[in-house]
Amino acid sequence: MNEITMNFGDYVFQKRKDLGLTLREFCRKFGYQPSYISRLENSVLGAPNNKKKLSALALALKIEKDTEDWITFFSLAASSRVSIPKDIKEDFPNITRFLPAFFRTTRKNKVTKDDIETLIKLIHNEHNN
C-alpha cells in the first residue's frame, strides 16, 4: 500500500512495524494502552484532535518534525476525522484514503488541471476496481 492510498491507521501501523516493535512493546515503551493504539491502527478511532497528543504519537513513532513524514502523518490524521456523507462513502468506500493527497495537492500555490485530473483518475480507478 502506498502513501496516497494509506489511511491514518495503516500509517501508524506501518511506522510502528518499521520501528520493529510489537503493539505491546510500543505501548509499554511510550506509555500507551494497547487497546487504544490497536483501535487507531484498525481505523476504529480517528486520530486525536489534541495537537499535543498527536505530536507525542508522531514523535513516539520517530517521525521527525517538519519533514514530509510529519506532514503526511498530520494530513492523514485530519482525514481520519472527516465526516463523509453516507451516499459518497457507499459509492467510493475508500475515499478517505485519497483526501490527504487531495489536501497536499491543493496546498500548492497553484493547482493545475493535471493535478485535478490525476486525482480524478485515482478515484475512478479505485471505484472501478
Residue 51: predicted pLDDT = 92
How many percent of the chain have pLDDT more than 70?
75
Cα 38 to Cα 62, 81, 115: the distances in Å are 18, 17, 35
Q: pLDDT digit string (tens) for 9-27?
A: 999 999 999 999 999 999 9
Residue 40: predicted pLDDT = 95
C-alpha cell at 55: 505530536
> 111 pLDDT band (50/70/90 cuts)?
low
Q: Give the residue, 38 or 118, on which the prediction is more confident.
A: 38
> 91 pLDDT band (50/70/90 cuts)?
confident
CB hemisphere CA count around 15 (13 angstroms): 23
Q: Give the residue, 84 or 65, on which the prediction is more confident.
A: 65
115 within 8 A of 105, measured Cβ to Cβ: yes
Q: pTM above 0.85?
A: no
